[in-house]
Amino acid sequence: MDWQENATATVTIVNSGGAATENGVQVAFQYRRVGSGDAGWQDLKDPDLLKDEGGAACDPSNWEWAVRPVQGQATTLSIEAGRNTRVLSVPIDLATHQSPRTCNGESLPARILPGDYELKVIVDPLGRIEEQDRKNNELIIGFSILGSELEAGALELSRSSVERGTDVVVEASVRNTGAKTANAFSVGFFVGATRMDTFHYAGTGLAKDDTVNVQGVIRTQDLAEGEHLVRVVIDPDGQLYEGDTSNNTISAPLVILGLPRRQAELFVDRIVFSPPSPISPGQAFFVRAAVNNAGDLAAERFDVILRVSSAEGGETTGGLAIEDAMSMNLVQSVHRLDPLQTVWLEWPVVGLEMGTYLVRVQADPASDTLPQGRVVERDETNNALLTGFSVMDLADAPVFPSRRPNLACQGLVVTPSAVSTGAAVAVQAVVANLGSEPAGGFDVEWLWVYPTGQSQRLETQRVGPLSAGATIELTRTIDTRSFPHGIHQLILRLDVGDDVEESSTADNVCSASVAIGTTVADPRVDLQPIGVRFDSPGAIVGEGNTVEQDQRLFAYVTIKNQGNVASGPFHVAFSTAVEAGREAWTSVGALDQIEVSHRLPTSDPGEYLLTIEVDPDALLGEDNRANNTITATYTVIASTVTVEEVVPSTGQPARWLASDAAEAKVYAVWVDG
């Protein structure tokens, strides 16, 4: 039956005995909802007997057995053919009890809900008729009451083909075609048999013919490559009762591609002149450029070319003239640039004659043999930056006074500039405000660049405020005990948070070189795990690296640096099928080795494959990463459990023990039984 629909129960009563009934035959009706957890039968109320409160049958006091007909109106049943059968019909007022009501000031909850029901008819419920057999006086029939009727439609995926790890937004519509308003329901978003997300509807109610849009997110990082089926399932937990659930599911294919290829992404970020333009004729100057790697893969050795050319005459592009044949090319090499790192390069340039010039800095330039350069990048078109500068007599240079502060790094000195392994160096820097206005507080950043090109932030320091024309001296001591041999760079950057609006930021960076230990022409780090052992403090590790469940277990991996310089800081990743973790290490000297430990999971029995990877983030400048991984196995067995139970003494000894492996029980039998 549909929601808000009433029914009529009709029962046929036959007298198959040898005598007519002396009294009239009465019939009672009961019902129960299947699976409701209520074992008792509920009396079916006769609407003709319910008292009225303004037209609605609702008297809560009249919930007794609905016995029909009433006493004195029931007719007898004879044994004659044609007179031994009686048909009795009773209307079932379902709709009245499908909503909460108030009756005589008392609140009544809804008694009829969607679901499967059983209706029981009982002949002669009061036992007024003597019968040969009362076992056939009851009959049960089933019926169902339908509720909301939801159907799914209009399925859309934000993308039908994505790289693994990319989230996919799934949208669908839900329409209620049933008579009952759906007040609360859920919608599951599945890939295969796995529920990826759930939408819970708890609005004002989804009435008949109303539609609501639902949304879920499929996170694809754990999905295998290939084609999958995305299913949107209404009421996946079966909380609603619908006559047709075949329209509760709608699906669409989703293709998961492999992980995106890791690539470097080089670009030139800034070009600064020291001294700034305009430059006096014949005065030597420096050009500094910042090269960034915005990719997720380290860029191995590549060149950076500085080209200075005259801009006099010729066509112009973007206000700058196209370079002519009269130019100079200066090349520097970068050993390695890790992801999200920046390297500053500096070129000395001899004095030039008066004129206007162009500077072009290009990272990883192309050649005849390498048309895309040495480094494979996501975008090969953004590797160059072009700017211009002037050479003129400063007495003739126009002066445009700026009412702004101008922070400048006026000197960075490291003492001594060459140290043996383990020595400390003293750093002194002078920061000035060359502008005409005071500068508020700002942050300065100390960066340390290793010989491999890897950089490390030593500290971010708050400085200021600094009045116009004032200077401040910054000092610090740096311990180099953990630093590898080679030529290092110390860089000081002013106002890294852009707190000060300056007239010029060209002089906000300065650097100094530090030589540590024995320097090599080609610094190389090559870390290799060469052995794994297992240990359990205070316990024994069995043959084949076997331990009991929940026993403490540690893996110790020996790592050797086969390179010719010490490494910088790095991580060691330990992973099993159930857990992954990391340990940090500061440095490994050239041809030196260390041992790193990590606690392993032992909560569940089974055989585990342990994979250990050195420097998983590729932070070090290694020429060979093929030897950075090592594997080992260990086994966890179920623990032996001792259980003690105090048994009251009977005065007799226990004689026999019997075990029940199926229930994991041990039985003790006493002599006296």
Give the pLDDT confidence score for residue 47 in this predicted structure: 44
| Domains, the chain, with CATH or none | 7-145 (2.60.40), 150-257 (2.60.40.10), 266-391 (2.60.40.10), 407-516 (2.60.40.10), 527-637 (2.60.40.10)
Report the DSSP pairing between strands 115-123 and 27-33: antiparallel
Contact 197, 182 (CB under 8 A): no
Contact 285, 308 (CB under 8 A): no
594 three-class SS: strand
Contact 266, 292 (CB under 8 A): yes
Query: For 599-614, what is each residue's pLDDT tens digit?
Result: 999 989 999 999 999 9
CA distance from start to end of the chain = 62
How far is Cα 377 from Cα 145, in angstroms, rounded to an integer? 65
Cβ atoms within 10 A of the Cβ of 223, count? 19
Question: Which residues on adjacent β-strands are paired with residue 195?
Answer: 190
Contact 559, 529 (CB under 8 A): yes
Contact 121, 11 (CB under 8 A): yes
How long is the chain?
Answer: 673
How far is Cα 231 from Cα 242, in angstroms, rounded to an integer? 19
Percent of the chain with pLDDT over 70: 84
Q: Give the tokens for residue 423.
A: 């020595």
Residues 383-405 as b/e (b if ≥16 CB within 10 A, e otherwise) read bebbbbbebbeeeeeeeeeeeeb
Highest-scoring range by mean pLDDT, 142-146, 378-382, 408-412, 425-429: 425-429
What single-letter DSSP state applies at residue 44? P
Give the pLDDT confidence score for residue 62 in this predicted structure: 40
Q: Give the tokens for residue 213.
A: 């849009």
How far is Cα 604 from Cα 599, in angstroms, rounded to an integer? 15
Residue 151: φ, ψ to 5°: -135, 145
Q: Give the tokens for residue 387.
A: 């700017």
Contact 562, 542 (CB under 8 A): no
What single-letter DSSP state applies at residue 98? S
My answer on whether omega of the bond before 451 falls inside 30° of 0, hence cis, is: no
Give the pLDDT confidence score for residue 130 in this predicted structure: 81
How far is Cα 461 from Cα 254, in angstroms, rounded to an integer? 50
Q: Which residue has the tokens 């209620």?
A: 176
Phi-psi region of 319 (alpha: psi -120 to 50; beta: other; left: phi over 0): left
The secondary structure of the chain in percent helix, strand, coil, rounded to multiples of 5, reads 0, 50, 50
Query: For 561-585, what is each residue's pLDDT tens digit?
Result: 888 777 877 889 999 988 888 888 8
Mean pLDDT over the full length of the chain? 80
Report the DSSP pairing between strands 161-163 and 249-257: parallel
Give the pLDDT confidence score for residue 507 in this predicted structure: 78
Percent of the chain with pLDDT over 90: 18
Q: What is the model's pTM?
A: 0.36
**How large is the average pLDDT for residues 364-389?**
86
Contact 125, 134 (CB under 8 A): no
83 confidence band (pLDDT: 50, 70, 90): low
How far is Cα 454 from Cα 451, in angstroms, rounded to an integer? 7
Question: Can you say whether the dihedral through the CA atoms of 478, 480, 483, 484 is positive or negative?
Answer: positive
**Which of 69-73, 209-213, 292-296, 629-633 has the weakest average pLDDT?**
69-73
75 confidence band (pLDDT: 50, 70, 90): low
Residue 95: φ, ψ to 5°: -60, -35
Give the pLDDT confidence score for residue 170 in this predicted structure: 93
How far is Cα 365 from Cα 60, in angstroms, rounded to an integer? 91
How far is Cα 154 from Cα 543, in angstroms, rounded to an integer? 60
Give the pLDDT confidence score for residue 598 in this predicted structure: 92
Residue 361: φ, ψ to 5°: -115, 125
Residue 520 identity (one-letter amino acid): V
Give 363's Cβ-side CA count (13 Å radius): 33
452 confidence band (pLDDT: 50, 70, 90): low
Give the pLDDT confidence score for residue 630 in this predicted structure: 95
96 three-class SS: helix
Give the pLDDT confidence score for residue 202 in this predicted structure: 77
